[in-house]
């Protein structure tokens, strides 16, 4: 039985909720809204109702499960790979600084790894007031249990009110484990973070249903308020070598039986830029025609210093590996420049790239939906246009 | 091998069309499908069983009609199915969903591998898998791209994971929860033989009362630490298409390159 309550006296049968429901759970019967069992209580219909006839019971516990006042401060997990800090962590330090200032609390960076002391200094230069530095051989390559165990004990001891992690493969792996053990709220893949001026809660905004709706989420009665944050949502802060912070070395307390996973090998993508992090992406789709067609795409990406993406069709046809797929069942990206070559722009592809700053579409079909969201477009044969564009950029950018 | 596969029924977004006048989604008659990533999880479970023997149990938390997703999985070859459906579960966030599924998996008894899709295409969180693993206190392996070696006799598994920088090969101890990405396999279609079996199979529905040791305050909306306070449409892209039309390809490319350079993003 669905949770949604419909006040039949208030309902005017406008159908606004029927259109707003992403699940097809609402319909009009005799000019009144009716809900069926497809309803998952997602709340998408509530705002669509002009007469407030819809209601979801707010059956929340009246009292918090923890002493909320004991929790203070904003924390950021510094993701590193082979000793290099991920840009996403630095972006979060920038936003974390703003949130901490708004809450008038300290910003803490958590640096876990082996031989990563340089990251403690980096974190301070990007705004951290305090750094927890945990150095242990068992932390040299990321695996879930030792990282989660270390962070959980730090959180239990020092009680942050907000804890941010990157929405990377590692960040999502780690956050889900930590939040589960602590019984606290975790909002995944946020694209907006703010503080509610009235109650000081973290307002976490994220896309759902392939980016077709946005939801703002709070965690009122559990701590810390945890969120993972998408790549390239927040601006990179400028390093300030004068900024002062305290480094607190912490001894790792990892039991041998906690280590159930061993990294045997890492196979890095050769000559490729990390798609999730890329400022510029050149993508190919069905119009590329085959594996060798991607050479044309790669040349343009190379000249622009960008990464190579693809649509699902090109991956399914075996022209390029899945690691390059952008869209609903691939990666979500938001580069400054996205050049779509021979990509028609199906809704699943758009879900993965429609928040790019500037979108350029090159397609021979003038009716391709990609043109509906593009800033610039050329209708024509990509095998003529892309090489010519590559030449132009070569001459103009690399004189 | 006892294999449990967690699946979710989601709106079939592939069916969604855009209304060209209002630029909104046309949702009428949207069908429900098995979350696409979960199809790879089912397939991987069936392949493990075919190689090493054992049993594949599919489990789903959702409204009553999610039973169709379970029937489809049985139609592909899964041996057993359990539905979790109760008004007490409604409105669960990723924490409460993981808690409920973990209790149900415990009730199922011994297991070696739990498989999940990377994430569901409606919620997109990817957090339920890690949540289940830590509730059960077992190894978690997310974003699995390939199972390289599976040695149940020594409780060992070696997999390849897909990360942003490339791939990673890890060896781990069983039992383990694996969340799988697309491309790990090619999911099979249902077969007539298995569809017939699915039609006859009694799929039990478990409610909160069927879960041993359940804390009712940790279920559904009231047990969920997160709360949605606002839903809105994403901001529309600003600006209109600047369609470049020139006499020759070279001219078009020259104009386009100038305009991109003028955006000052290179």
Residue A207 near chain B (CB below 8 Å):
yes
Give the model confidence (pLDDT) of A195-225 as tens digits.
999 999 999 999 988 787 888 999 999 999 9
User: Does A266 reside within a domain?
Assistant: no
**Chain-chain contact of B134 with A180 (C-beta, under 8 angstroms):** yes
User: How many whole angstroms separate alpha carbon B254 and alpha carbon A391?
Assistant: 9
Instruction: Determine the average pLDDT of the residues in A293-318.
Output: 95
User: Does A269 reside within a domain?
Assistant: no
Instruction: Determine the average pLDDT of the residues in A152-174.
Output: 97
Residue A385 near chain B (CB below 8 Å):
yes
Give the alpha-carbon dihedral of B223, B229, B232, B238, to 10 degrees: -110
CB A225 within 8 A of CB A184: yes
CB B43 within 8 A of CB B51: no
User: Does A178 reside within a domain?
Assistant: yes
| Residue B171: both structure tokens together | 């060896």
The most distant pair of C-alpha atoms in chain B lies apart, rounded to whole Å, by 74
**Hey, which residues 210-249 in chain B have their CB within 8 Å of chain A?**
217-218, 220-222, 224-234, 237, 239, 241-245, 249
User: Does B258 reside within a domain?
Assistant: no
Percent of chain B with pLDDT over 70: 93
Of B93, B222, B232, the CB nearest to A61: B222
The length of chain A is 399
How distant, in Å, are the alpha carbons of A90, A157, A247, A279, A348 from that of B179?
A: 28, 31, 36, 29, 21
User: Does A160 reside within a domain?
Assistant: yes
User: Does B245 reside within a domain?
Assistant: no
User: Does A76 reside within a domain?
Assistant: yes
**Hey, which residues 326-345 in chain A have their CB within 8 Å of chain B?**
328-330, 336-337
Residue A18's domain is classified under what CATH number?
3.30.70.20
Same-domain check for residues A106 and A141: yes
Residue B13 confidence class, pLDDT cut points 50, 70, 90: low
Same-domain check for residues A86 and A212: yes
DSSP state, A331? B
Same-domain check for residues A338 and A200: no
Residue at which a domain ends, from A258, A293, A309: A258
Q: What local confidence, expressed as pLDDT, does residue B28 receive?
A: 57
Q: What local confidence, expressed as pLDDT, does residue B12 receive?
A: 77
User: Per DSSP, what are the bridge partners of residue A310?
Assistant: A284, A325
Q: What local confidence, expressed as pLDDT, does residue A62 receive?
A: 46
Give the model confidence (pLDDT) of A74-104 as tens digits.
999 999 999 999 999 999 999 999 999 999 9
In chain B, the number of structural domains is: 1
Residue A186 near chain B (CB below 8 Å):
yes
User: How many whole angstroms separate alpha carbon B183 and alpha carbon B181?
Assistant: 6
User: Per DSSP, what are the bridge partners of residue B166?
Assistant: A268
User: Does B242 reside within a domain?
Assistant: no
User: Does B233 reside within a domain?
Assistant: no
Percent of chain B with pLDDT over 90: 80
Residue A44 near chain B (CB below 8 Å):
yes
- Provide the residue range defining the domain that includes B58: 2-223
Residue A297's domain is classified under what CATH number?
3.40.50.1220
Residue A221's domain is classified under what CATH number?
3.40.50.620
Same-domain check for residues A185 and A85: yes
Q: What local confidence, expressed as pLDDT, does residue A117 receive?
A: 97
User: How many whole angstroms separate alpha carbon B140 and alpha carbon B176?
Assistant: 6
Residue A375 near chain B (CB below 8 Å):
yes
In this structure, how many other beta carbons lie within 10 angstroms of the beta carbon of residue A18?
19
In chain A, the number of structural domains is: 3
Instruction: Determine the average pLDDT of the residues in B1-23.
Output: 74
Chain mean position to CA A310 = 19
Give the model confidence (pLDDT) of B131-146 as tens digits.
999 999 999 999 999 9
Instruction: Encode burial over A267-299: b for 16+ CB neighbours within 10 A, e otherwise.
Output: eebeebbbbbbbbbbbbbbbbbbeeebbebbbb
Contacts (Cβ under 8 Å, ≥6 apart) of A271: none
Q: What local confidence, expressed as pLDDT, does residue A271 receive?
A: 58
Question: Nearest-CA residue of chain B relative to A330?
Answer: B182
CB B62 within 8 A of CB B104: no
Same-domain check for residues A127 and A151: yes
Give the model confidence (pLDDT) of B80-131 as tens digits.
999 999 999 988 999 999 999 999 999 999 999 999 999 998 888 999 999 9
Residue B23 confidence class, pLDDT cut points 50, 70, 90: very low
Contacts (Cβ under 8 Å, ≥6 apart) of A167: A88, A188, A189, A190, A228, A229, A230, A231
Same-domain check for residues A284 and A377: yes
Cβ neighbourhood burial of B225 (10 Å; 0-12, 13-18, 19+): buried
Q: What's the predicted TM-score (pTM) here?
A: 0.90
Residue B14 confidence class, pLDDT cut points 50, 70, 90: low
Residue B100's domain is classified under what CATH number?
3.40.50.620
Same-domain check for residues A251 and A350: no
User: How many whole angstroms separate alpha carbon B37 and alpha carbon B187?
Assistant: 10
- Provide the residue range defining the domain that includes A43: 5-55
Give the model confidence (pLDDT) of A39-82 as tens digits.
877 777 877 788 888 887 654 444 566 789 999 999 999 999 99
Contacts (Cβ under 8 Å, ≥6 apart) of A127: A93, A94, A96, A97, A107, A237, A240, A243
Of A148, A222, A376, the CB nearest to B242: A376
Percent of chain A with pLDDT over 70: 96
Same-domain check for residues A171 and A230: yes
Q: What local confidence, expressed as pLDDT, does residue A36 receive?
A: 87
Give the count of Cβ contacts less than 8 A between chain A and B.
308
E strands of B99-202, at which residues? 113-117, 139-151, 156-162, 166-173, 176-180
Give the model confidence (pLDDT) of A332-373 as tens digits.
999 999 999 999 999 889 989 999 999 999 999 999 999 999
In this structure, how many other beta carbons lie within 10 angstroms of the beta carbon of residue A94?
16
User: Does B160 reside within a domain?
Assistant: yes
Same-domain check for residues A23 and A103: no
In this structure, how many other beta carbons lie within 10 angstroms of the beta carbon of residue B212?
8
CB A45 within 8 A of CB A55: no
When mean pLDDT is compared over A12-26, A92-106, B237-251, the highest value belongs to: A92-106
**Chain-chain contact of B217 with A61 (C-beta, under 8 angstroms):** yes
Same-domain check for residues A194 and A290: no
Q: Å from B185 to nearest chain A CA?
A: 11
User: Does A171 reside within a domain?
Assistant: yes
Q: What local confidence, expressed as pLDDT, does residue B16 receive?
A: 53
User: Does A264 reside within a domain?
Assistant: no
User: Does A90 reside within a domain?
Assistant: yes
**Hey, which residues 117-136 in chain A have their CB within 8 Å of chain B?**
none
DSSP state, B154? G
Residues of A in contact with B90 (CB under 8 A): 2-3, 39-41
User: How many whole angstroms separate alpha carbon A392 and alpha carbon A353?
Assistant: 25
Question: Nearest-CA residue of chain B relative to A15?
Answer: B28
Question: Nearest-CA residue of chain B relative to A306?
Answer: B266
Of B28, B142, B170, the CB nearest to A264: B170
Same-domain check for residues A184 and A245: yes
């Amino acid at each position: 039985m669905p949770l949604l309550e419909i006040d039949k006296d208030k309902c005017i049968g406008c159908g606004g909720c029927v259109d707003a429901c992403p699940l097809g759970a609402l319909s009009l019967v005799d000019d009144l809204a009716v809900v069926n069992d497809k309803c998952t209580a997602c709340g998408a219909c509530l705002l669509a109702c002009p007469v407030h006839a819809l209601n979801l019971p707010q059956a929340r516990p009246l009292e918090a499960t923890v002493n909320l006042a004991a929790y203070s401060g904003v924390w950021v997990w510094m993701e590193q790979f082979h000793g290099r800090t991920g840009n996403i962590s630095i972006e979060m330090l920038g936003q974390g600084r703003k949130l901490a200032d708004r809450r008038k609390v300290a910003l803490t960076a958590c640096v876990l790894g082996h031989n990563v002391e340089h990251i403690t200094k980096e974190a301070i230069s990007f705004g951290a007031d305090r750094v927890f530095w945990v150095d242990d051989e068992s932390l040299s390559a990321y695996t879930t249990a030792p990282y989660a165990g270390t962070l959980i004990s730090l959180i239990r001891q020092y009680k942050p009110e907000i804890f941010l992690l990157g929405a990377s493969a590692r960040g999502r792996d780690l956050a889900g484990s930590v939040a589960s053990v602590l019984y606290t709220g975790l909002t995944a893949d946020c694209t907006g973070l703010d503080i509610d001026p009235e109650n000081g809660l973290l307002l976490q905004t994220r896309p759902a249903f392939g980016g077709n709706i946005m939801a703002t989420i709070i965690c009122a009665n559990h701590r810390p308020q945890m969120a993972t944050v998408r790549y390239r949502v927040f601006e990179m802060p400028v390093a300030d070598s004068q900024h002062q912070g305290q480094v607190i070395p912490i001894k790792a307390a990892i039991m041998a039986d906690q280590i159930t996973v061993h990294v045997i090998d890492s196979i890095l993508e050769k000559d490729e830029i990390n798609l999730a992090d890329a400022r510029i992406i050149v993508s190919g789709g069905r119009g590329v025609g085959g594996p060798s067609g991607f050479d044309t795409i790669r040349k343009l990406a190379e000249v622009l210093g960008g990464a190579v993406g693809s649509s699902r069709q090109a991956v399914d046809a075996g022209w390029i590996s899945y690691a390059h797929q952008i869209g609903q069942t691939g990666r979500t990206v938001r580069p400054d420049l996205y050049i779509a070559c021979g990509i028609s722009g199906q809704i699943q592809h758009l879900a993965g790239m429609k928040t790019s700053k500037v979108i350029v579409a090159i397609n021979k079909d003038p009716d391709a939906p990609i043109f509906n969201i593009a800033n610039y477009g050329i209708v024509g044969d990509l095998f003529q246009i892309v090489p010519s564009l590559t030449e132009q950029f070569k001459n103009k950018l690399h004189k | 091998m006892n294999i449990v596969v967690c699946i979710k029924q989601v709106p079939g977004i592939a069916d969604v069309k855009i209304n060209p006048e209002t630029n909104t989604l046309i949702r009428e008659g949207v069908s429900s499908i098995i979350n696409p990533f979960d199809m790879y999880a089912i397939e991987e479970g069936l392949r493990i069983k075919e190689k090493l023997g054992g049993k594949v149990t599919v489990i789903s938390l959702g409204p009553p009609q999610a039973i169709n997703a379970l029937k489809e999985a049985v139609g592909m070859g899964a041996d057993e199915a359990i539905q979790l459906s109760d008004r007490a579960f409604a409105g669960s966030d990723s924490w409460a969903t993981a808690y409920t599924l973990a209790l149900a998996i415990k009730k199922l008894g011994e297991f070696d591998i739990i498989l999940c899709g990377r994430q569901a295409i409606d919620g997109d969180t990817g957090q339920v898998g890690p949540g289940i693993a830590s509730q059960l206190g077992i190894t978690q392996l997310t974003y699995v791209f390939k199972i390289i070696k599976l040695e149940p006799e020594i409780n060992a598994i070696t997999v390849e994971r897909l990360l942003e920088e490339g791939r990673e090969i890890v060896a781990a101890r069983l039992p383990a929860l694996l969340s799988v990405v697309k491309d790990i396999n090619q999911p099979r279609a249902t077969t007539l033989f298995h569809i017939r079996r699915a039609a006859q199979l009694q799929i039990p529905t478990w409610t909160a009362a069927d879960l041993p040791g359940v804390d009712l305050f940790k279920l559904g909306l009231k047990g969920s630490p997160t709360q949605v306070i606002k839903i809105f449409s994403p901001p529309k892209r600003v600006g209109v298409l600047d369609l470049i039309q020139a006499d020759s390809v070279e001219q078009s490319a020259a104009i386009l390159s100038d305009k991109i350079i003028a955006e000052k993003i290179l």
